[in-house]
Amino acid sequence: MEEKKKKHKPINRKLLRRFMKGTWGYFIIAAIALIAAVLSAYIIPIITSFTIDYVLIPYAEEGYKAGDSGVPGFIINWIDSIGGREFLIKHLYIMGIALLLFTAVNAMSTFLRRSYIAYAGESMARNMRNDLYEHLANLPFDYHKHVSTGDLVQRCTSDVDTVRRFIQNQLLEIARTVLMVVCAAVIMLRMNPMLTLWSVIMMPFLALSSFVYFKAVKDSFSDADEAEGKLSAALQENLTGVRVVRAFGQQKRELDNFTEKNADFRKKNLRVNNLMAYYWSASDAFGYMQIMLALCVGVYYAIKGWISVGELLVFTSYTAMLTWPVRQLGRILADLGKASVSLGRIDEIISAPLETEPGKALTPPITGDIEFRHVGFRYEDSVDPVLDDVSFTVKHGQTIAILGSTGSGKTSLVQLIQRLYTATEGEILLDGVNINDYERHYLRRNIGIVLQEPFLYSRTIMENIRIVDPDAPEEKVYEAARIASIHDVVKAFENGYDTVVGERGVTLSGGQKQRVAIARMLMQEAPIIILDDSMSAVDTETDAAIREALSGRRQNCTTFIISHRITTLSTADKILVLEHGRLVQQGTHEELIKVDGLYKRIADIQNMLEGELGSEGGEA
């Protein structure tokens, strides 16, 4: 049902106008060039026929009355005034020059039409992509949960391309066809209305069959598109999950899967190509029948003396010129359908509501005192609350550690501080001001976060660390990297800081990736730092070294550390223990170690393990 609704969505004109901003000039030039091209194309047969009727035949045949072959009276009068037929016979090259001239006009205007419509289409596509990208960048964080990346990429690339192709190849084609039919009708009717009728009698059938045919094969076209989509999705998934595929020895299965989709795509594409071959050949035959009809009837008319030989030439030329655009009409309509579906898909992104600024958009200096007051939160699609009645306070410069089993809501809690999501109950205060009242970009700039699964760009390590401030001096980068205990590691790489990080951080180990992400966060010099389990892949000693190095900075920063390591947690000024979204314990290490609870249990287990490891090490 959803599909159906999409297909019948009318074209959003406002959106189209928005994309066309700045491209009107190109469209106008292309339209003028189009008119010039059509007119010159129609003049060329007239020059030939005029040469036959006015110059050639009267010269060859005694008593043959010179015809005008559709040349306007004032031009005939002018030719007569400069010496008429005799003059032209002596200077026959003039007719050749006239032919050349109009052919040149035709070639030039065809060139202009094509290049300017290309400018128009490409500029529109650029506008579309920019608008889409900008919109996507400002959509709420939540939006991306409901849509697949592959689908978004497709909308920003293939759908934009479908619309562009329609603009470039088809839009003017409609205007051209209409213009051609009108011009041909005017000229032909003036010469002989009856023969005009014979020359176009099959055209409506040709147009109609084109509509019917393209409507009938529409499904085959969309089947082929769908098969292509599936093929690229399979490819994308395979490349993204390359590690999993290899690790689980799935190459053969994945290859089979890919081969199957590939074969399916070939089959469906072949079908489309076959259907098109049938159509073009059948309509070719149909078109030639029309030309043949015009020729036969025309010859009869010429023998009867109802039209001149030159006029016969005009009729047959025009009939041939008209068949191609007419049999294309159905295809244009089919493409119009496709383009409007694509535009609808683009529209869906553009009309998704942007992230709003619910409060006063303040940008005061931030010190970093944070207070949670009875904060509750649930994700849009979840039934149970993820956080429930969470209250605590942190003074600036303090370090706050969060412990909790997986799924207990730790990540959700820190994401609320960044306002990636908004608390559904209670309020979060930063320096006594509700965080909703801060300007969101300003708020986020002042909170440095290292995500649980850090994402690195496929650029150099230097560029990755400098991402927030590309002009930062290298010394500053080294300093941040030293604190994150990654400087020496990077220096030891063959290309040092110029080592290109592979897509999704391939080429770096898990722990190295985390540390690069920490260095990147430090460059932000934010008064609030959040480390979401950011040292899980770093060994305990390096973890301690990083925390030690960080502590110099931490005095001016409020730091949130999510961790499962008691050694990390124990140094914090305050420890929060979360269980199923509820804050079950809070206090310092000394306080929590004394009471029964999750913290003590985990501390005991980790101490026991340490002890065992220690004694094993001792024995060896």
Run of H or E residues at 433: strand 433-434
Which residues in 244-398 belong to E strands, given as ranges? 370-377, 387-394
Q: Which long-range contacts link 553-556 to residues 24+ away (Cβ below 8 Å)?
A: 553/483, 553/522, 554/397, 554/399, 554/529, 555/397, 556/396, 556/397, 556/527
- Helices 251-304 and 309-350 cross at an angle (nearest 10°) of 150
Could you tell me the smallest distance in angstroms from the CB atom of residue 407 to ligand UTP? 4
Q: Binding to ligand UTP by residue 386, rule CB under 6 A?
A: yes
When binding is defined by CB under 6 A, the residue of 130, 273, 363, 382 that contacts ligand UTP is 382
Q: What is the DSSP letter of 157?
A: I
SS3 state at 426: strand
**21 φ, ψ to 5°?**
-55, 130
The DSSP secondary structure of 456-489, one letter per residue, reads --SSBHHHHHTTT-TT--HHHHHHHHHHTT-HHH
Q: Binding to ligand UTP by residue 143, rule CB under 6 A?
A: no
Per partner kind, with CB cut-offs from 5 to 8 A, the member of ligand UTP, Mg ion, none near residue 407 is: ligand UTP
Question: Would you say 300 or 421 has its CB closer to ligand UTP?
Answer: 421
Report the C-alpha gap between 327 and 209 in whole angstroms: 8
Question: Would you say 83 or 407 has its CB closer to ligand UTP?
Answer: 407
Per partner kind, with CB cut-offs from 5 to 8 A, the member of ligand UTP, Mg ion, none near residue 478 is: none
When binding is defined by CB under 6 A, the residue of 51, 199, 408, 558 that contacts ligand UTP is 408
Question: Would you say 173 or 388 has its CB closer to ligand UTP?
Answer: 388
When binding is defined by CB under 6 A, the residue of 410, 513, 547, 565 that contacts ligand UTP is 410
| Residues contacting residue 392 through CB under 8 Å, at least 6 positions apart | 371, 372, 400, 574, 576, 583, 586
Segment 484 to 503, residues that bind ligand UTP, using CB under 6 A? none
Q: How many CB atoms lie within 10 A of CB 155?
A: 20
Q: Taking Cα atoms as reference points, which of 399, 166, 202, 365 lies closest to residue 290?
A: 202
Q: Look at the block and give the residue holding tokens 């050694």.
A: 567
**Site residues for Mg ion per CB under 5 A:** 411, 452
When binding is defined by CB under 6 A, the residue of 49, 210, 411, 418 that contacts ligand UTP is 411
Could you tell me the smallest distance in angstroms from the CB atom of residue 562 to Mg ion? 7
Could you tell me the smallest distance in angstroms from the CB atom of residue 552 to ligand UTP? 28
Q: Taking Cα atoms as reference points, which of 317, 329, 294, 297 lies closest to residue 205?
A: 329
Could you tell me the smallest distance in angstroms from the CB atom of residue 379 to ligand UTP? 4
Per partner kind, with CB cut-offs from 5 to 8 A, the member of Mg ion, ligand UTP, none near residue 382 is: ligand UTP
| Residues contacting residue 141 through CB under 8 Å, at least 6 positions apart | 355, 415, 420, 421
Site string for ligand UTP, 436-455 (x = CB under 6 A): ----------------x---
Adjacent-strand bridge partners of 438? 362
Burial of 82 (0-12, 13-18, 19+ CB in 10 A): exposed
Question: Would you say 355 or 369 has its CB closer to ligand UTP?
Answer: 355
Q: Binding to ligand UTP by residue 146, rule CB under 6 A?
A: no
Q: Is residue 227 within 8 Å of 269, Cβ to Cβ? A: yes
Could you tell me the smallest distance in angstroms from the CB atom of residue 406 to ligand UTP? 3
Question: Would you say 117 or 577 has its CB closer to ligand UTP?
Answer: 577
Residue 83's region, left for phi above 0, alpha for psi from -120 to 50, else beta, is: left
When binding is defined by CB under 6 A, the residue of 25, 72, 407, 614 that contacts ligand UTP is 407
- Angle at the Cα of 85 (from 80 to 87), degrees rounded to 5? 85
When binding is defined by CB under 6 A, the residue of 13, 305, 406, 552 that contacts ligand UTP is 406
Determine the size of the site formed for ligand UTP (CB under 6 A).
13
When binding is defined by CB under 6 A, the residue of 404, 448, 505, 527 that contacts ligand UTP is 404
Q: Binding to ligand UTP by residue 409, rule CB under 6 A?
A: yes
Run of H or E residues at 43: helix 24-50
Q: Which of the ranges 296-304, 407-415, 534-542, 547-555 carries the binding residues for ligand UTP, by CB under 6 A? A: 407-415
Q: Which of the ranges 39-47, 98-106, 187-195, 400-408 carries the binding residues for ligand UTP, by CB under 6 A? A: 400-408
Q: Binding to ligand UTP by residue 418, rule CB under 6 A?
A: no
When binding is defined by CB under 6 A, the residue of 64, 286, 379, 457 that contacts ligand UTP is 379
Question: How far apart, in Å, do the first and last CA atoms of the chain sit?
Answer: 70
Q: Which of the ranges 80-88, 151-159, 184-192, 379-387 carries the binding residues for ligand UTP, by CB under 6 A? A: 379-387
Question: Would you say 404 or 454 has its CB closer to ligand UTP?
Answer: 404
Could you tell me the smallest distance in angstroms from the CB atom of residue 11 to ligand UTP? 35
Q: How many CB atoms lie within 10 A of CB 571?
A: 17
Q: Which of the ranges 255-263, 304-312, 351-359, 404-412 carries the binding residues for ligand UTP, by CB under 6 A? A: 404-412
Which residues contact ligand UTP (rule: CB under 6 A)?
A: 145, 379, 382, 386, 404, 406-412, 452
